[in-house]
Amino acid sequence: MNVLDCLHFKEMLVSGANNLANKHEEINTLNVFPVPDGDTGTNMNMTFGSGVAEVSKVMNNHVGETSKLLSKSMLMSARGNSGVILSQIFKGVYKSIADKQSVTVTDLADAFENGARIAYKAVMRPVEGTILTVSREAADAGKKLVEANPDVSIEEYFDTLLREARASLSRTPDLLPVLKEVGVVDSGGAGFVAVIEGFYAYLRGKPVTVAAASEKEEEPELGYCVEAKIKLFREFDQIRIDKAISKIGTRMDISNSADEVKIHIHSMKPGEVISALQTFGDLLVVKVENLAVGHEKKFEYEEMKPREKYAIITVCNGEGIVEMFKELGVNNVINGGQTMNPSTESFVSMIKTINADNIIILPNNSNIILAAEQTREVLTKQNIVVVATKTVPEGIAACIAFNPDAELAENIRNMQEAVANVTTGSVTHAIKDTSFNGIRIKEGDYMGIKGKDIISSLPDKMETSKALLDALVNDDTSIVTIIYGSEATEAEAEELQKYVVGEYDVDCEISNGKQDLYPFIVGVE
């Protein structure tokens, strides 16, 4: 094949998406940290799969227009760092072929080279040994092939692209020592390889189809999109709402503000969704659209709030943690965190309900920062600043430092300084057997984690927690904050409080965050 037209381009995209969908669980197992989190394979699958699904709904005969829609849809659905980077790669592809009705092998070589370039620019501190390296080295090899032989076929180009992507992926442990220690390759790079494998399989006449289980998961996409705003009868309870409607829908996003909650869910049974939602409060606004028709126009609420100087958006989970942020004046909360990375669209949808001159986003998780930053690409007329908080204690410190009467530059400076003075630790379960920094980790053990380092891994929760505190507290510590979750008791938190005060003679506060999966989150200042 010497020219790729729009029909074949779309079918190639579908094959790539199907291959990623089939392999996303396998990719998830490559994650280095043995913690429950928003896994790379899942995030990339949701990002690319959503983009391809939108492309498949549109009838056109222009590769450039198709790639534009793919890029736009991926940008909105991007989740996690690898999902965002993948969306940036295909943004670069689109920018290169925007005016092409069909593409040649030279066009494709230029496009993937531009994709890697754009992806690098999107990351403030690019790290080699990741999806960035794999995409760049694969694109470079493909470009050299085409420059040396302009008459090479598209199949031969993708053969080279795939072979170099696989080779580059195999080298990632040499660039990131942590990968070598754990014995895995980079998960984001593996996701990129899965997409290119699907492309090449299609070009060889063997398009990848979705495994039966994945097809079942995608069935609701033939149903309806339900978006609702509810005035709650009682206090927001994420777990109760999840249980009530998660079985009758997919792709659910929930965000709450004060005593109201906004929900976006796809379901084959919109009536059942609405009935379930009515048990939680009064329906203020409801919108139902047939997914087969499409819903390009996003949900817009009718009322307009008074214009304010500032609005802060924070990402967190746990009823108690939400209340902590509300007490600090933050009413715009997106439910998410380690195990549920919100998409760029989640941020965009909330920002559209806010009427403020300056919007400050606190992601509170390193894997959410890039998705938050992409809001600036979508809402170019809004003044949006992302303070790159990586943990809940950092987010709380930033809110304490915020002064609603100060100018934006001063606020951002003060918030960033407050974040820099916080060291965060956490205790959670290990989800697999592995080793990290010489520490043998067994599935089910409690791990004490300081920043990106695993300090201890033991069967006993309290022993692990005290070992973590020993690693966190030092002579410069002025205060320790312990946030205990649903898997810990107040008595256990008080025991740790007494330990800190007795051993280190520093102030220690405890709060009930009610977060899942993490019995303790510790902030040290």
Q: Is residue 118 part of a domain?
A: yes
CATH classification of the domain holding 416? 3.40.50.510
The per-residue pLDDT string of the chain (525 residues; one tens digit each, 9 = 90 and over) reads 899 999 999 999 999 999 999 999 999 888 766 665 558 888 999 999 999 999 988 888 999 999 999 999 999 999 989 999 999 999 999 999 999 999 999 999 999 999 999 999 998 888 999 999 999 999 999 999 999 999 999 999 999 999 999 999 999 999 988 888 778 899 999 999 999 999 999 999 999 998 765 444 444 345 677 888 888 877 777 667 777 776 677 656 776 666 778 887 877 777 777 777 878 888 888 777 766 554 444 444 444 567 899 999 999 988 899 999 999 999 899 888 776 788 898 899 889 888 899 999 999 999 999 999 999 989 998 999 999 999 999 999 999 999 999 999 999 999 999 999 999 999 998 888 887 777 888 888 999 999 888 888 899 999 999 999 999 999 899 999 999 999 999 999 999 999 999 999 999 999 999 988 899 999 999
Asked if 458 and 510 sit in the same domain, the reply is yes
- In terms of Cα–Cα distance, which of 345, 438, 336, 424 is closest to 75? 345
Q: Which of 384, 401, 421 is the last residue of a domain?
A: 421
Asked if 407 and 482 sit in the same domain, the reply is no
pLDDT tens track for 14-35: 999 999 999 999 998 887 666 6
Residue with tokens 């400050």: 360
Q: Which of 297, 319, 351 is the last residue of a domain?
A: 297
145: which residues sit within 8 A by CB, 6+ positions away?
Answer: 109, 152, 156, 157, 160
**What whole-number distance in Å separates Cα of residue 281 and Cα of residue 291?**
26
CATH classification of the domain holding 450? 3.30.1180
Q: Is residue 377 part of a domain?
A: yes
Q: Is residue 375 part of a domain?
A: yes
Residue 302's pLDDT is 43
Which pTM value belongs to this model? 0.78
CATH classification of the domain holding 235? 3.30.70.260
Domain assignment of residue 233, given as a range = 223-297
pLDDT tens track for 353-386: 888 999 999 999 999 999 999 999 899 989 999 9
Asked if 256 and 292 sit in the same domain, the reply is yes
**523 and 481 in contact (C-beta within 8 Å)?**
yes
Asked if 238 and 371 sit in the same domain, the reply is no
Residue 179's pLDDT is 84
Q: Is residue 513 part of a domain?
A: yes
Count how many domains the chain has. Answer: 4
- In terms of Cα–Cα distance, which of 248, 274, 252 is closest to 264? 252
Q: Which of 421, 440, 462 is the last residue of a domain?
A: 421
- Identity of the residue numbered 366: S
Q: Is residue 181 part of a domain?
A: yes
**What whole-number distance in Å separates Cα of residue 214 and Cα of residue 17?**
11
Q: Is residue 99 part of a domain?
A: yes
485 token code pair: 């979750």
Q: Is residue 218 part of a domain?
A: no
Asked if 496 and 349 sit in the same domain, the reply is no
Asked if 206 and 68 sit in the same domain, the reply is yes
Residue 296's pLDDT is 43
Q: Is residue 65 part of a domain?
A: yes
Asked if 416 and 430 sit in the same domain, the reply is no
Beta strands 250-257 and 308-316, pairing class: unpaired
**What whole-number distance in Å separates Cα of residue 157 and Cα of residue 227?**
44
Asked if 21 and 127 sit in the same domain, the reply is yes
Asked if 167 and 52 sit in the same domain, the reply is yes
- CA distances 128 to 125, 174, 205, 428, Å, are 10, 10, 34, 28
Asked if 317 and 187 sit in the same domain, the reply is no
Residue 429 main-chain phi, psi, to 5 deg:
-85, 145
Asked if 269 and 348 sit in the same domain, the reply is no
Among left, alpha and beta (phi > 0; psi -120 to 50; other), residue 437 is left
Asked if 290 and 322 sit in the same domain, the reply is no
**What whole-number distance in Å separates Cα of residue 147 and Cα of residue 157?**
11
CATH classification of the domain holding 180? 1.25.40.340
